[in-house]
Structure 1
Amino acid sequence: MSGPSTPSEAPHASTPAQESATDVVRWAAFSCVLVPVVLLWYGSSLAGATGTALGLAAVTAVCRILLRQSERGAARLHAEERAPRRGRHHRTGNGAHRGGRHTGGNTPVG
């Protein structure tokens, strides 16, 4: 039976943001082919259509790099939010070692 696949069935499950970024890159690559063809169809020169194709390909490549970098940054941020925080200002525990004066337990102050 063929039906919509669930994320657990998909071999490489991705988030909707990653899918939309992939779709954007696919449409951009499609336009890199379509626009020069349309330019040639309407009588533009081969050199002009080739230059347009190269320009669109360069813009698409830069956008793809920026999208991937953004995805990695978002994934890193998401991983940091889920990780337990430790360090100087994010200690875990009952708070026994926080600032202030500490008495010696049951010893009288006097």
Structure 2
Amino acid sequence: MSGPRQPAEPPSGAPVPGPAAPSRDPVTGLVRWAAFSCLLVPVVLLWCGTSFAGTAGTALGLAAVTGTCRLLLRRSERVAARPPGRGRGVRAGRRHRAGRRARGGGRHTRQNTPVG
């Protein structure tokens, strides 16, 4: 019986293989799991006896939801990565009219009331 075996050493200068580093981007990991589910769910549905048309519709729906979620997650990352205060100018709209006095609710003090 011989002693414990030593692992073979890689030649000098060669990269040492190690465990795969986990993805640092949480959105990428989430989208990968969603894509895996988009593939797994139709297979399970077919295995359980669901019609091919129903399975195809489910797969397309899952793919659409996954794609939309990916777009929304990426957009929220871009918005969160913006420096504070950028892109927040004066908004022009119904309630945000620059240079005009706000009109609406409250008590009017004009003398335009009907005599009665």
The TM-score range, normalised by the shorter chain, is 0.5 to 0.7
> Gapped runs of 5+ residues in structure 1?
7-13, 82-110
Equivalent residues in 2 for 1:11-90, closer than 5 Å: 16=24, 19-76=25-82, 79-80=83-84
Report the alpha carbon displacement of residue 51 of structure 1 after superposing the two structures with TM: 0.3
Report the alpha carbon displacement of residue 3 of structure 1 after superposing the two structures with TM: 4.2
Is 1:2–2:17 an aligned residue pair? yes
The aligned amino acid for 2:81 is: A
Structure with the largest fraction of helix: 1
Runs of 4+ in 1 over 2 A off after TM superposition: 1-6
State the identity as a percent.
65
Report the alpha carbon displacement of residue 2 of structure 1 after superposing the two structures with TM: 3.4
In the alignment, the residues of structure 2 paired with residue 5 and residue 56 of structure 1 have an alpha-carbon distance, to the nearest angstrom, of 29
In the alignment, the residues of structure 2 paired with residue 37 and residue 5 of structure 1 have an alpha-carbon distance, to the nearest angstrom, of 28
Aligned residues: 70
In the alignment, the residues of structure 2 paired with residue 21 and residue 65 of structure 1 have an alpha-carbon distance, to the nearest angstrom, of 10
Compute the TM-score of the two structures, normalised by the length of structure 2: 0.53
In the alignment, the residues of structure 1 paired with residue 44 and residue 58 of structure 2 have an alpha-carbon distance, to the nearest angstrom, of 11
| 1:47-87 CA-partner distances (Å, limit 9, x unpaired) | 010000000000001000000001101111xx348xxxxxx
Task: Assess, with a 3 A threshold, how the Cα gap between structure 1 residues 45 and 5 changes in structure 2: closer, same or farther.
Answer: closer
In the alignment, the residues of structure 2 paired with residue 40 and residue 5 of structure 1 have an alpha-carbon distance, to the nearest angstrom, of 33
**Structural RMSD (CA):** 2.6
In the alignment, the residues of structure 2 paired with residue 80 and residue 4 of structure 1 have an alpha-carbon distance, to the nearest angstrom, of 38
